[in-house]
Amino acid sequence: MNAASALSLENIARRFGSVRALENASLVVRDGSVHALLGENGAGKTTLMRVAFGLVRPDAGTIRVRGRAVDLPSPAAAIALGIGMVHQHFSSIPALSVAENVALGGHGAYHADRVRARVRDICEMVGFSLDPDARAGDLSVGAQQRLEIVKALARGARTLILDEPTAVLAPSEAEDLLAMLRRFADTGGTVVLITHKLPEALATADAVTVLRHGRTVLAEPVTNVDASKLATAMIGGAPPAAARRERRQAGQVVLAADHLAVRDERGVMRTRDVSLAVRSGEVLGVAGVDGAGQHELLLCLAGRLPPSSGHVEAPATVGFVPEDRLRDALILEFDVAENLALHESGRARGRLAWSRIRARAAEILTEYDVRAQSADALVSTLSGGNQQKLVLARELEPHPSLLIVENPTRGLDIAATAAVHSRLFDACEAGAAVVVYSSDLDEVLALADRLIVMFEGRSRDVPLDRAAAGRAMLGAA
Amino acid sequence: MRPATPAPGASAVSTWRHRAATSLGGAAIVVMVAVLSLALLWVALRLAGFDATLALGALWRGSFGTWYALTSSTLVRATPLVLTGLAVAIAFRAGVWNIGADGQLLVGAAVATAVGLAWGAQLGWLSIPLALAAGAIGGALWAGVAAVLRTKFGVLEVISTIMLNFVALDLVGYLVRGPLQEPSHAYPQSDQIPATMHLPILIPGTRLHAGFALAVAASLVLWWAMRSTAAGFRVRAIGANPDAARVAGRVDVARTTTNVLLLSGALAGLAGAIEVSGVTFALYENISPGYGYTAIAVALLAGLDPLGVLGTGILFGSLEAGALSMQREASVPSVVVTAVEAALVLLLLAISRRGSAASIIARFAGARSPTPDDAP
């Protein structure tokens, strides 16, 4: 084996029950490089990396670290070999400080000063800013992610595995993170970047590996590939054409907000003096960095959070897709049909006709291409992408005249994303007013007829232009 | 794309029918655990030098062994346990930690007594529904204090309801020494309620009163309501994920919580009114030997299922009925039954570590249920 490979996974296979998550998946990561691991949802990217981090034991195959075959029975074993992983869902303790979170899992006495100094050293080394004394729960999403990286580095990781790290970041934060990963690799570290964003992989990585159906279908230096070659490898055919639609004359005003101020659940003022109107057949795009007030604005417009001042005029039934599907959209221990019945259940009266609901649920699974064993399957058994499709199906199904969606395609692959976009356009053609926020600015620009950008709780009308929107998101003129 | 994959470690497909089968399986597990607990009791009694075989025989004769024991002892004992067990089960299902069923039962008993003493003689048989309704309303209002404290001041009901138990106990202590004390002022108890307010006997020749029929009816109605009605669905939804219920379902979580607490208090208050009008016929300071606390075990053992509560309530009723005859016949202190009840719950938790009772206790202890953060 090539001695210069920091990590190499050879012909890994792993089944979960009757499902083959991985069969014959291989990944060779050169020392001192950034390696992008691409694939659609369910292609096995995360599972393969969980094998590399000792969270999943492979049924077959060999793992080598710096050329030596190893057994990884636990994450502790992987950490001891210098492998660190940053998961999609963060694992810090909100009530503890940054330094205390970094110290967790260590041994021996806890010296606050030493840990603080260590955090500062690591931040300086990789070019981060992170206050060691800040409470982890008060950090922005971007800062929480930096904390996860610092935690891994503090345990001596030389090979960092990051699972879709930019999915939760604003464009400028994502650029900063990718630049940091690049520097880390240039100074001798190794990075495995799980992603399904092609531009990100092409711009940052030295090499790419593409998984499809649990197999490695492409492994090349980045110089040998381009976006269309990668997309073809990922989906095993030509990529679907991006959805398009005719821009029509907008109709009557469906949603109107007048000098709206909104406080979040903790009573903090998040949105100030926002006025807007959205017409039938129109898509209003909303952009903003994490925490700029767009989440509370959309909750309020959807009737899920009362305004603290100002006024909203909206239809009685609003389709709403919240950003955090596990917390706000789905009940994991309920089955598919029950989750569909959740829609507007606050207003339901009398008996629920379960036999009809279940029959309709089975149809919806087919119509919206949600892959679940049946309408009786618990939602916790669905993959993330299928959970998202289920939420969209539930909200689109009653054909509401107003549709408010946050990150509608988070966790979806290329084909499913295109399907969701065309569904949104269909709803719009049928006369719905649509408000869409996405942390992916390109997605907002692709969907919107008009754009507002949120910054520190205030909104601004901005032309549909990437540079102008990017500046407005940072508060620049 | 490939078919949906279960998250690693997640249980296999769970269908509606499958879940019905699981609840039957749950009943089988409870029976198994009960037998195991009794085996442990036998060993413990042997080690303590008692005639264990005689004692267990007495336990059986005092609970299910004879028609009279079953109807007049076990089912009479089970009635307040089923009703308070339902009170706890429905609250816990909604994620509302009502530990105050005992206090709500006491207030229900006190209100029913007061109504009976004041109007029972004039109203005739009408005083029965009146006293039962008054008891239920009393219990609901007592729980309503906790509801107001939670919704207006953010006081956790797990604290306030348990505190209100002690207040209720002192309130009853005051009533039976003050306003409601019997005319001779010799004993800390109320006067006897008029005979017109005594609950009818269901089976002649036994002490089984109509309160048991009400407990069975309440189990059936709640079981149906939890699975078939929109209100029951909301209760389950706010218990499973209040954020999703609020955001996706536009459920008014505060209102649903309040309603559940009121209903829970009403069930416990009804249990108190039934004890007065069916068993004791007067208000005593120690009218409840901790029914509202045993109710927590009854509810958890039943997996918070209302029909299951009927079963576990009767099981616990039989243990407490049998304990008395065990004491009479084999001189075994009746408190050992409390140890059997505890062993039952602990064994069940040990067996079904991933089961509903365990996960509910885990949430009760403040731990968050795990989410599959790694669906591929």
Give me the CATH number covering residue A265. 3.40.50.300
pLDDT, position A467? 82
CB contact under 8 A, A331 and B1: no
Determine contact: A267 vs chain B, CB below 8 A.
Answer: no
A361 in the same domain as A424? yes
Q: Is residue A144, in this structure, part of any structural domain at all?
A: yes
Give residue-wise pLDDT tens across range B297-339: 999 988 899 999 999 999 999 999 999 899 999 898 888 888 8
Is residue A210 a part of any domain in this protein?
yes
β pairing state of A207-212 and A215-221: antiparallel
Domain of residue A421 covers: 253-473
Does A5 have pLDDT greater than 50? yes
Q: In the listed set A183, A202, A235, which residue is the last one of a domain according to the structure?
A: A235
Higher pLDDT, B4 or A230: A230
* A176 and A31 in a common domain: yes
According to the 3-state scheme, what is the secondary structure of A191-223? EEEEECCHHHHHHHCCEEEEEECCEEEEEEEHH
A37, A156: one domain: yes
Q: What is the pLDDT of residue A238?
A: 60
A397 in contact with chain B, both atoms CB, cutoff 8 A: no
The string of pLDDT tens digits covering residues B335-353 is: 888 888 888 888 887 776 5
Total beta-carbon pairs less than 8 A apart between chain A and chain B: 166
Contacts of B25-31 with C-beta under 8 Å, sequence gap 24+, read B26/B303, B26/B305, B26/B308, B26/B352, B26/B355, B27/B308, B27/B311, B29/B348, B29/B351, B29/B352, B30/B301, B30/B302, B30/B308, B30/B311, B30/B312, B30/B315, B30/B348
| Neighboring chain B residues of A37 at a CB cutoff of 8 Å | none
Cβ contact (<8 Å) for A331 and B244?
yes
- Domain assignment present for residue A245? The answer is no
Domain count, chain A: 2
pLDDT winner (highest mean) among A208-212, A278-282, B109-113: B109-113
Assess whether pLDDT exceeds 80 at residue A170.
no
Q: Does A242 map to a domain?
A: no
Q: CA A262, CA B15: separation in Å to the nearest integer?
A: 41
Q: Would you list which residues of chain B are within 8 Å, Cβ to Cβ, of chain A?
A: 1-8, 10-18, 227-230, 233-234, 236-237, 240-241, 243-252, 369, 371-376
Query: What is the model's pLDDT at position A2?
Result: 47
Q: Are residues A10 and A85 in the same domain?
A: yes
Q: Sketch out chain B's domains with CATH numbers.
A: 18-374 (1.10.3470)
* Higher pLDDT among residues B106 and A104, named by residue: B106
Q: Is A56 in Cβ contact with B8 (below 8 Å)?
A: yes
| Structural domain includes residue A174 | yes
B274-290 average pLDDT score: 94
Q: How far is A463 from chain B (nearest CA, A)?
A: 31
Q: Taking 50 as the threshold, does the pLDDT of residue A395 lie above it?
A: yes
Is the CB of A382 less than 8 angstroms away from the CB of B4?
yes
What does the radius of gyration of chain A's CA atoms come to, in whole angstroms? 23
Note whether A300 contacts B: Cβ–Cβ < 8 A. no
Express each pLDDT in A21-77 by its tens digit.
Answer: 898 899 999 999 999 999 876 788 888 999 999 999 999 999 999 989 999 999 999
Same domain as A224, residue A330: no
Do A377 and A449 fall within a single domain?
yes
Mean pLDDT of all residues in chain A? 88
In a domain, A401, yes or no: yes
**Do A148 and A40 share a domain, yes or no?**
yes
- Residue A433 lies inside a defined structural domain of this protein: yes
Say yes or no for a CB contact (<8 Å) between B13 and A381.
Answer: yes
Per DSSP, chain B holds a count of helices (H) and strands (E) of 15, 0
CA angle centred on B123, ends B122 and B127, rounded to 5°: 130
CB-based contacts of B226: which residues, under 8 Å, 6+ apart?
B90, B93, B232, B235, B236, B306
At residue B366, the pLDDT reads: 45
- What is the percentage of chain A residues whose pLDDT exceeds 70? 95
Quick one: pLDDT band at residue B15, thresholds 50, 70, 90? Answer: very low
Strands A83-86 and A269-279: unpaired
For residue B13, pLDDT over 50 is answered with no
Give the burial class of B17: count Cβ atoms within 10 A of its Cβ; 0-12 exposed, 13-18 middle, 19 or more buried.
Answer: exposed
Which residue of chain B has the CA closest to A345? Answer: B249
Highest average pLDDT, of A89-98, A178-187, B13-22, B273-282, comes from B273-282
- For residues A325 and A461, state if they share a domain: yes
Distance (Å) from the C-alpha of residue A471 to the closest C-alpha of chain B? 32
Nearest-angstrom CA–CA distance, A49 and A209: 12
**Angle of the A384-396 helix axis to the A414-429 helix axis, nearest 10:** 10
Contact A314, A303 (CB under 8 A): yes
Q: Which of A209, A235, A261 is the last residue of a domain?
A: A235
Which bin fits B257, alpha (ψ -120 to 50), beta or left (φ > 0)? alpha
Using the structure block, give the residue that is written with the tokens 């969606």.
A405
In this structure, are A317 and A461 located in the same domain? Answer: yes
Residues 151-190, chain A, touching B (beta carbon < 8 A): none
**What does the pLDDT average to over A159-182?**
85
**Across A277-284, average pLDDT:** 93
Report CB contact under 8 Å: A371, B1.
yes
Residues of chain A numbered 405-424 and touching chain B (CB < 8 Å): 413, 415
Pick from B5, B240, B251: CB nearest A345: B251
Tokens in use for A263?
Answer: 């406080």
The pLDDT, as a whole number, for residue A36 is: 95
* Residues A128 and A268 both lie in one domain: no
The single-letter DSSP state of residue B72 is: I
pLDDT in tens, A216-228: 999 999 999 988 8
Q: How confident is the model at residue B9 (pLDDT cuts 50, 70, 90)?
A: very low
A299 touches B: beta carbon within 8 Å: yes
Q: What is the mean pLDDT of residues B268-272?
A: 98
Distances in whole angstroms, Cα of residue A57 to Cα of each of A89, A147, B114, B268: 21, 27, 68, 51
Per-residue confidence band for A468, with pLDDT thresholds at 50, 70 and 90: confident
User: Mean pLDDT, chain B, as a whole number?
Assistant: 87
Band of pLDDT at residue B19, cut at 50, 70 and 90: low
Report which DSSP code applies to B8.
T
**Per-residue pLDDT reduced to its tens digit, A122-142:** 988 888 888 899 898 888 778
Single out the residue in A204, A235, A266 at which a domain terminates. A235
Span B160-183, average pLDDT? 95
Regarding whether A264 and A215 lie in a shared domain, the answer is: no
Give the whole-number percent of chain B exceeding pLDDT 70: 87
Name which of A213, A303, A376 is nearest B16 (Cβ-Cβ).
Answer: A376
Which chain A residues are Cβ-neighbours of B243 within 8 angstroms?
A: 327-328
Q: For A419-428, B77-86, B272-281, which range has the lowest pLDDT when averaged over its residues?
A: A419-428
- Reduced to 3 states, what is the DSSP secondary structure of residue A151? helix
Q: Name the H helices within A319-413.
A: 336-341, 354-367, 384-396
pLDDT of residue A218: 92
pLDDT exceeds cutoff 80 at B22: no
My answer on whether A206 and A283 are in the same domain is: no
d(CA B185, CA A148): 71
User: Could you tell me if residue A162 is inside a domain?
Assistant: yes
Residue A95 contacts B where some CB pair is shorter than 8 Å: no
Among partner residues A345, A377, A387, which is closest to B233 by beta-carbon distance?
A345
Residue A454: pLDDT band with limits 50, 70, 90: very high
Give CA–CA dist B360/A75, Å, rounded. 29
